[in-house]
Amino acid sequence: MSAIKQPPALATLRYYLHYDPESGVFTWKECPPHRTDLLGKRAGYIASWGYRMIKLDGKMYIAHRLAWLYVTGQWPEQVNHIDGDKTNDRFANLRLADAFIAHQNMHKAKRNSKSGLLGVTTDVDGRRGFVASISADGKQHYLGHFKTAQEAHAAYIAAKHKLHPGWVCQREAKQQ
């Protein structure tokens, strides 16, 4: 089921759901027809792609976009989780973002990554080790060749802190 890009009416959202900006949790204030069992319970479910989804008036919505609407009264084009945790819908963890910022906020390598680490690829012939690179300001920056994937990833993380202001490593965020 895909999420709707058109917003629900703010009045409808606030009628059915309560959102706590501190915890990021939506709960049912009023039950949808034929679902009296939901009253007071947490709304939605975690989809296979990692985001909390909430069904309202027969349409599916991504919870963090509903959270933005609930607090600001405006439907966002795109909202981003600052710490990269798709389930952390606390309002302080949300920000408006374009596709470029959302891409910069990646915290995990893509599923098809051979190295399994963000910003790291194997060398073309696979014999010279690993290559680290990063995109910033519309340009690809070569960070060097490294013997291990971990060394290449460390170079990538260091560059990410310099080139992507505001990026927060999930590991660092959890320690704060």
Distance CA 82, CA 168 (A): 7
Distance CA 33, CA 45 (A): 18
Token pair, residue 146, equals: 């490294």
Would the CATH topology of 10-99 be identical to that of 108-169?
no
| pTM of the complete model | 0.63
Distance CA 176, CA 170 (A): 10
Token pair, residue 148, equals: 């291990």
Helix (H, G, I), strand (E, B) or coil at 34: coil
What class is the 108-169 domain?
alpha beta
The residue ranges of every structural domain in the chain are: 10-99, 108-169
Q: What is the per-residue pLDDT across 113-139, written as a single tens digit (0 to 9) for each? A: 455 576 777 776 656 788 887 777 667
The answer to whether the beta carbons of residues 43 and 54 sit under 8 Å apart is yes
The answer to whether the beta carbons of residues 67 and 87 sit under 8 Å apart is no
CATH of 10-99, one of 3.30.499.10, 3.90.75.20, 2.170.120.20, 3.40.1380.10: 3.90.75.20
Q: What is the per-residue pLDDT across 50-108, written as a single tens digit (0 to 9) for each? A: 899 999 988 999 999 999 999 999 998 888 888 878 899 999 999 887 555 555 555 45
